[in-house]
Structure 1
Amino acid sequence: MGRDLRPGWTTGACATAAAAAATAALFGGDFPDPVTITLPGGQQPAFALAVTARGDGWAEAGVIKDAGDDPDVTHGALVRARVWAGADGGGVVFRAGPGVGTVTLPGLPLPVGEPAINPVPRAMICAAVTAAAQAAGRVVGDLAPDLVVEIGIDNGEALARRTLNGRLGIIGGLSVLGTTGIVVPYSCGAWIASIHRGVDVARAAGLPHVAACTGRTSEATVARHYGLSEQALLDMGDFAGGTLKYLRRHPVPRLTIAGGFAKLGKLARGLMDLHSKRHAVDLDWLAGVLADLGADADLLAQARGANTALQVLHLADAAGLPVADRVATMARDVAVGVLGDAPITVDVLVIDRQGGIIGQAGGVADTHSPLPR
């Protein structure tokens, strides 16, 4: 019998705990270990300290991130906070330490040049260091202490290469993220949020054309085919609904949707979640598409008895039936319907596993023309 997946803590929660402990030590106390913080939802988890250090006018603490059972690239990373006195009246000022990135492109919820410590973690850290300063008798009332808080993540620059930070213009390391402080294993929220930030960055850059792709092969094909920059590529994955609904509210002039035959077949059926665990390929539906294209009874029977959508595609190709084009057209119709009145021109490309374009609808793509490899 399976067990429940174990939740974990966000990078922002770990940074908050480290900053609270470092602040207590800076103001003459011991490093509290474990250190307790308050999350936005009112939960009060305690974090063990992995490292502590003091110097002339500064204190530092570190927490090992535990992401629970989520496959988070930062699971096990050491999140550090070093604090020291800031300018009088300056309040809490944030710095990017080693392994934390800096914002270099507009469109994110932070100005260009700021450390990539998101607004909610900033608020959590401010509240935690203020509480520590109050406990030490260093501030009056709810005034924030005048502190510089530097957040770092060991090996963060290398870990960031496994994320979309570079595409979003976050250079030099990871982002300090989290809106609740809690990591929910295999949550869709983080992926969808990254899609939204990708749209925001593209819009802020004034890009006229973005591509929402289901995987790396389709992404590489679209980038080459249209000459799109990295900032124009949206890693949609299986989240067609989350992508299209956000674009409906935050439109760009042109959208290309690209993916494999099976996943775009699901979009063509009107499904917004393209994951294989949510929705299986509907072979009866694909047979119906072939029937509309004039397939005979024998081909329809073979299609209904096929093992995979790829097998259906091969059967259709052998019979000279443009099923990939038809799926592209139907997927485009669904996408246009979700986008509603948003002023977006849409085209769809169906990509094979070798990176060839095997079907299209809308736009000016050359169909059935694999890229040179």
Structure 2
Amino acid sequence: MARKPEGELKKGWTTGACACAAATAAYEALLSGAFPDPVSITLPKGQTPAFDLLSSRIDGVVGHAAVIKDAGDDPDVTHGATIRAAVRLLDEGEGLVFKAGPGVGMVTKPGLPIEPGEPAINPGPRKMIRDNMDVVAARHGMDLNAEVTIAIDKGEEIAQKTWNPRLGIVGGLSVLGTTGVVIPFSCSAWIHSIHRGIDVARATGLTHVAGSTGKVSEETVQKTFNLPDEALLDMGDFAGGLLKYLRKHPLPRLTISGGFAKLLKMAQGHLDLHSSRSQVDFEKLAALVEKLGGSDDQVAMAREANTAKQVLDGCPDLPLAEIIGRQARETALATLAGQTRVDILVIDRKGTILAHVGAPDGESADD
């Protein structure tokens, strides 16, 4: 995760808001002959941002407009992307139809807010576009009957940096954004992706998913259990986002795979594992070292340590990884309230499994 900069952070606009602005401008031009530039739209909470048009033209019966996405100070992979809309008028009674242009994905798996076979334009942006185009139509004394095609330059390439391929969204990005506003470093997009991953896993009948704190732990858990990509939930630091959603939308089995330091925080009761929001309690860790029979020097080292790895490396004769795995599992089970079976993989930075706790009978980390 990118480091949060100092000072007040600038908010930005979602892909959905940008698509809405482009579509609204193109529709206005088809009805009036002139593109509003900048084009103002109304967001669900009443804000009225204005967007400069990167390009605009009427090509026969189709209006085209494009805007550049500004995500503010959020490290959004779509910041700076060109969002395009092409609007074509339809006959009376046909309503509003959405199409995916180049760079916008198509949904292929169940479990998402959009049905398979539909363009990956989420319900929030669809409503936003409809509401703003309805205003334009009413101003011209018309009902809204139009086809809107949204495209994103290099969207298929950018989508490889997102969860879309794993969620079964092929060919490009999703058009997202319930409020239209990007809150910098709110983490909502990451947690949203975790939730959609669980939804897809449930809808496709998976019985075993894995939440991992990072790339190495994800590779290890996938190899250990031969899990398909769609079973892998990029939990990152958001253990709470994963566990709380699973409590309401349970699956039969969850494996949590992570490094010793991250799982130590979870063992100590934290559900947000980011360094800026939770810290290892070294006094508690030293007490555990003492309880496990550590020497006076090991206890003192643990108390004064700078990192969890330092303590782990300094106590090779103690079952620290095993005990931390058990305690992390207890935290997970308490949060899940008995809805899902849980096992824990504690790994080192090279992907070596240090402990496997809570495995089903007859299964080991080597199976």
TM-score under structure 2 normalisation?
Answer: 0.96
Residue 307 of structure 1: SS of its match in structure 2? Answer: coil
Which residue identity is paired with 2:347? I
The aligned residue for residue 70 of structure 1 is: 74
Among candidates 103, 108, 112, match of residue 112 of structure 2: 108
The aligned residue for residue 152 of structure 2 is: 153
Query: Which stretch has the larger CA shift, 89-98 or 305-314?
Result: 305-314
In structure 1, distance between residues paired with 2:7 and 2:308: 33
In structure 1, distance between residues paired with 2:92 and 2:136: 18
- The number of residue pairs the alignment matches comes to 361
The aligned residue for residue 305 of structure 2 is: 306
* Match runs of 1:1-373 below 5 Å: 2-139=6-143, 145-317=144-316, 320-342=317-339, 344-363=340-359, 366=364
In structure 2, distance between residues paired with 1:227 and 1:123: 40
Check conservation: 1:14, 1:65, Cα contact below 8 A: yes
Check conservation: 1:106, 1:204, Cα contact below 8 A: yes
Which residue identity is paired with 2:122? N
* TM-aligned CA deviation for residue 38 of structure 1: 0.5
Query: Which stretch has the larger CA shift, 266-275 or 130-139?
Result: 130-139
Which residue identity is paired with 1:112? P
Residues 231 and 196 of structure 1: is their aligned pair in 2 closer, same or farther, counting only changes over 3 Å? same
In structure 1, distance between residues paired with 2:238 and 2:291: 28
Segments of structure 1 that go 5 or more residues without pairing to the other structure are: 140-144
In structure 2, distance between residues paired with 1:29 and 1:273: 52
In structure 2, distance between residues paired with 1:151 and 1:136: 23
* TM-aligned CA deviation for residue 54 of structure 1: 1.1
Which residue identity is paired with 1:334? T
* TM-aligned CA deviation for residue 334 of structure 1: 0.9
Query: Aligned residues: percent identity?
Result: 56
* TM-aligned CA deviation for residue 119 of structure 1: 0.2
In structure 1, distance between residues paired with 2:131 and 2:75: 29
* TM-aligned CA deviation for residue 2 of structure 1: 4.6
Check conservation: 1:117, 1:177, Cα contact below 8 A: yes
Check conservation: 1:31, 1:52, Cα contact below 8 A: yes
Which residue identity is paired with 1:211? A
Q: Kindly provide the CA deviation profile for residues 70-111 of structure 1, in whole angstroms up to 9, marking residues without a partner as x.
A: 011111111001000224422100000110000011000010
In structure 2, distance between residues paired with 1:327 and 1:81: 52
In structure 2, distance between residues paired with 1:159 and 1:11: 13
Check conservation: 1:24, 1:136, Cα contact below 8 A: no
Residue 184 of structure 2: SS of its match in structure 1? Answer: coil
* TM-aligned CA deviation for residue 56 of structure 1: 1.4
In structure 1, distance between residues paired with 2:345 and 2:338: 22
RMSD: 1.4
